[in-house]
Amino acid sequence: MSVIINQVITKQGDDGKTSIINGKRQSKGCLRLEACGALDELNAQLGLTCESLATSAEELKNILLTIQHQLFDLGSELATVEPYEGMWRATDVHVSQLENLCLQYNKDLGELKSFVLPCGSPLAARFHILRTVTRRVERDIVRFGESVGEISNPNILRYINRLSDLFFILGRWVLVVENRPEILYVVEKHRL
């Protein structure tokens, strides 16, 4: 499906409603649009992270750009009330691709002996922000699914879950590449 946007100001949303795919009008406060909005925020945060990567990280940047496209596709799937022929749908293949990326980036990381604090470098912190925003997206999608009975495609939640795993792994991986220490959580009685 081709998208043409010639005019941004339409005044169609001034009443607190918006059109979703298939032309239906819905409240901007509905759970479907809450989930779509959270996905949009995640995509914007991912774009910021991509722009923070060194020019030498072209392979990772291309991977993240593909994920940005898939997040748009996923938003389209969530915004569609009645699936139509040819529409993008999250599949086992998309989930497997994320699982393979997790394995690829995790293979050289050390064993975790505690929780990781979401810090260590600006880029590592950005990946942890992506992880937490992805978890919020997951909660929003679950709430939306509960409001309509269920999510029609279980691969949506599987995709989002693997994506948050990938962002966690990349937060750790970046520190290895940057030769920075990973800061682990220490229970209070063992802190300085």
CATH number (domain holding residue 68): 1.20.1200.10
Q: Which of 17, 37, 19 is nearest to 27 (CA)?
A: 17
The parent domain of residue 56 ranges over 17-78+89-190
Question: Is 4 within a domain?
Answer: no
Question: Is 1 within a domain?
Answer: no
Give the length of the chain. 192
How many domains does the chain fold into? 1
What pTM, to 2 d.p., does this model score? Answer: 0.89
| Full pLDDT tens readout for the chain, 192 residues | 566 667 766 665 666 776 666 667 776 677 888 999 999 999 999 999 999 887 778 899 999 999 999 999 999 888 887 777 778 889 999 999 999 999 999 998 989 888 999 999 999 999 999 999 999 999 999 999 998 887 888 999 999 999 999 999 999 999 999 999 998 888 888 877
Question: Is 111 within a domain?
Answer: yes
Question: Is 67 within a domain?
Answer: yes
Question: Is 6 within a domain?
Answer: no
Cβ-in-10-Å burial (0-12, 13-18, 19+) of 9 comes to exposed
